[in-house]
Amino acid sequence: MKSDQLQDKKVKLRLSWFKYFKKSKNIAKTCRYFGISRQTYYKWLKRYRNYNTNSLMDRSKRPKNIKYKLNLKITKKIKKLRLNNQLGPFKISRYLKNNEQIELSTASIYKILRKMKISRLSSIKKSSKN
């Protein structure tokens, strides 16, 4: 409910920019008055060209799609290499490329290790001692 009220306030504020501009006929003056950049004003003006107030609402910043999701088989191999051989992301990447014909960046492998909470060798050694 609060987010809807916040959205309404933002839409009303943006509408007030355009109303002020109609009176002043000066974009620079309008931007100074409201404390916004000209780039921001033009961005919202471009969205509002069709005079639709829904276009003045904030858009989601969430990505529309995720590039890829890793296969469970690959994540198991990465986990096995990490736990059994204690290889780091770089060596795991090279191993997968040379032996399995799977190309993954070291950053991707590190993200997987972080998700599994085995990104630090010290945490692996502590758990194996107990």
Q: Would you kindly state where each structural domain of the chain is located, as residue ranges?
A: 7-56, 72-129
**Calpha distance 91→97 (Å, rounded):** 10
Mean pLDDT of 110-127: 80
Q: Which of 23-37, 67-81, 85-99 has the lowest mean pLDDT?
A: 67-81
Phi-psi category of residue 57: left, alpha or beta, with phi > 0 → left and psi -120 to 50 → alpha: beta
pLDDT digits (tens, 9 = 90+) for 24-68: 999 999 999 999 999 999 998 888 887 777 788 888 777 776 666
pLDDT digits (tens, 9 = 90+) for 12-33: 999 899 999 999 999 999 999 9
Residue indicated by tokens 């504020």: 13
**Calpha distance 106→58 (Å, rounded):** 35
Asked whether 121 and 113 are in contact (CB, 8 A), the reply is no
Largest CA distance in the chain: 75
